[in-house]
Amino acid sequence: MDRLSGLDASFLYLETPSQVMNVAIIMEVDPSTIPGGYSFDGLRAEMNRRVTGLPVMRRKLADSLTNIDHPVWVEDDDFNIERHVNRMAVPSPGRIQEVAQMCSHLLGQELDRKKPLWDMWVMEGLEGGRIALFIRMHHATVDGATVADILADLATTSPDAPDLDPELVAANSGSAVRGELALHGAANFLIRRPIAALKLIPKTVPVPFEWLKRVRSGDGMPAPFEAPRTRFNAPLSPRRSISLSQFPLADVKKVKDHFGVKVNDVVLAMCGGALRQYLIDHDELPDAPLVGLVPVSVRGADEHDLVEIGTNKVTGMFTRLPSTVDDPVDRLRLAQMYAGQAKQHHKDIDANMLRAYAEFAPGNTLGALMRIYADRRLSALHPPVFTAIVSNVAGPPIDMYFLGAKVESCYPIAPIFHGLGLNITVFSAGDKLNLGIVTCPDITSDVWHLAECFQGQLEALVAAVDADVAAGRTSAADTVD
């Protein structure tokens, strides 16, 4: 058995019927490239074969009343692919909008915790003979980087089925003996956790004081609860709404290279501009900058005895979004400055501190408090922690084939939270940048308009590059006196 880290387990504790912790991918694929032709039974059989080489997709949760620590992962000895891979038809005319509508409904449904926490929905009937694949996994199982890793394991560079790694096929998460589960959990909770707390507290004491100092000087991350309130900072219902878009990665890199910034700066500038336009269209733009929470991977960061090994190796970085500036190039420069300040501040904080504190997450207590918080709609009574989650995940820079079908688009989908009802995630794959936006239709009803605003932002930045080139300027920096 493998015990969940505190951060992994927290996503279980935080889940309520209106705050479902699912991470997903929506793929449009061309089934004509599958060797021997497409059939649902054949696709499911190949998925079954691939899963035998992916231990993370064969394990399930185990817990008991006598376990006072986090649950554990064990092997599902009764694994059946028919419980995980399902089939449905997309309504006419079979556009990506219809796919998103169906996926929105599935995204808001809780996964069955008695079996491995994932499923796949094969959606047939798309225009042009394509099919869509909706792969849904619980956040306790994956983070953004892990999703990319799993996708890389399931996808290939050619339509041909790959050989499986014998070591991964033989890997086994084992079982959980009730007595062993309880004794190991008690040792963690009663001995190891108190010792870890004594080591962690002295590391934490200076952090809020240094943060407050940086906030006052204006050269660091914004503090939590400093974001202006928007329509997205409201309690959630169980319903979800998804919108999708896709951009040429070459256009993003064209902007990046011309202005001497990073891809992430371009993404943040697009987010600030798109949210600005969307809120202006609703006559709701705040005077203060919006604030984004940017998940940051700590893979490769030094581990220490305060942190359990787990799947979710992430922390969060707060950054202002350039929503108060009208000119697209000025927004890009401001996004670069805000991100630079946030990165420098974030670098001075122990990358594993969030994960270390998550080890102390009280399972039943946290779950009960979250249900009260949701039922009493308490998120409407305090200032927003931030405006939106903004994630940028790098995928493979080559064409992919998923179970033999050529991948034409790969949209990332991530969860939202009470009072934090907007998640914007981009995923680069091949020569495209794929955008997935998730919100709740009971707090905003036109999420596709927000996706359209993103398109306009990139077009404006590309037009600025073309104008500079036509005027003989190698970069916009040449226009600054």
Query: Which positions are catalytic?
Result: 139
CB 255 within 8 A of CB 465: yes
Distance in angstroms (rounded) separating the CA atoms of residues 284 and 278: 9
Q: Considering only CA atoms, which of 88, 422, 92, 102 is closest in space to residue 232? A: 422
Token pair 């010792």 is found at: 195
CB atoms within 10 A of CB 52: 16
Q: Considering only CA atoms, which of 435, 448, 466 is closest in space to residue 247? A: 435
Can you read off the two tokens belonging to residue 76? 């599902």
CB atoms within 10 A of CB 474: 9
Partner residues linked to 72 by β-bridges = 3, 62
Which H helix or E strand runs over 423? Answer: strand 422-429
CB atoms within 10 A of CB 357: 18
Partner residues linked to 86 by β-bridges = 121
Q: At 440, is the secondary structure helix, strand, or coil? A: coil
Reported for 77-82, long-range contacts at CB under 8 A and 24+ positions apart, including other chains, are 77/175, 79/51, 79/115, 79/116, 81/44, 81/45, 81/47, 81/48, 81/51, 82/44
The percent of the chain in helix, strand and coil, each rounded to the nearest 5, is: 40, 20, 35
DSSP string, 202-231: HHHTHHHHHHHHHHHHT-SPPPTT-SPP-T
Distance in angstroms (rounded) separating the CA atoms of residues 134 and 112: 17
Per-residue exposure over 302-316, b if at least 16 CB sit within 10 Å of its own CB, e if not: eeeebbbebbbbbbb
Distance in angstroms (rounded) separating the CA atoms of residues 178 and 2: 14
CB atoms within 10 A of CB 262: 14
